[in-house]
Amino acid sequence: MDSNLRREIIIDNYQNPVNRKRIDNKDFIHVSTRSDSCIDNIDLYVKINNDIIEDLYFDGEACAITTSATSIMIKKIIGKNIQEVKELMNNYYNMIDEKEYDEEKLGELLAYSEIYLQPNRKKCAMFPFETLKKAIKEYENKM
């Protein structure tokens, strides 16, 4: 993916993210992550049924990378089951950590394929998934 396209995807998802809404509904698991660096702050509202991510919203204030990655993540995982989400996450983290990864499966997440060039932004790209992990854990603990 060339750098212009990467940038376009990030800016587009940053300026017009999907599903940005605070949800007040008991069917949704609410997890909040405040980053240790005192900056990004994201709330995820996740509805999981029979191991399937049925719906997902976010709210909060964060940088361009975190916000866009959250939006892209939401689009990618609604309708997927937890196992599939974990595989996607592994694949995505492999890309970020400069390990071998499967390009085919990442779609818009490829926009972060060169984020390793800015090590201090890696955490931003991983942030939505780290937050999602918490929600999945909460779901699994309940089961």
Of 12 and 87, CB closest to other proteins: 12
Among 10, 85, 89, 126, interactor with other proteins by CB under 8 A = 10
Q: How far apart are CA 12 and CA 95, in angstroms?
A: 21
Q: Does 22 bind other proteins (CB under 8 A)?
A: no
Query: Pick from 24, 26, 38, 141: which binds other proteins (CB under 8 A)?
Result: 38
Indicate whether 64 belongs to the interface with other proteins (CB under 8 A): yes
Q: Does position 20 bind other proteins by CB under 8 A?
A: no
Binding of residue 19 to other proteins (CB under 8 A): no
Q: For other proteins, give the closer residue by CB, 48 or 126.
A: 126
Question: How big is the site for other proteins, counted in residues (CB under 8 A)?
Answer: 19
> Whose CA is closest to 72, among 8, 25, 28?
8
- DSSP class of residue 91? H
Write b or e for each residue in 43-81: b if 16 or more Cβ atoms lie within 10 A of its Cβ, otherwise e. Answer: bbbbbbeeebbebbbbbbebeebbbbbbbbbbbbbbeee
Task: Give the single-character DSSP code of 29.
Answer: E
**Residue 65 and residue 71: Cα distance in Å, rounded?**
10
The tokens describing 68, both together, are 């866009």
Q: Which of 13, 33, 67, 71 binds other proteins (CB under 8 A)?
A: 67
Considering the rule CB under 8 A, would residue 62 count as an interface residue with other proteins?
Answer: yes
Interaction site with other proteins (CB under 8 A):
6-7, 10-11, 37-41, 61-65, 67, 118, 120-121, 124
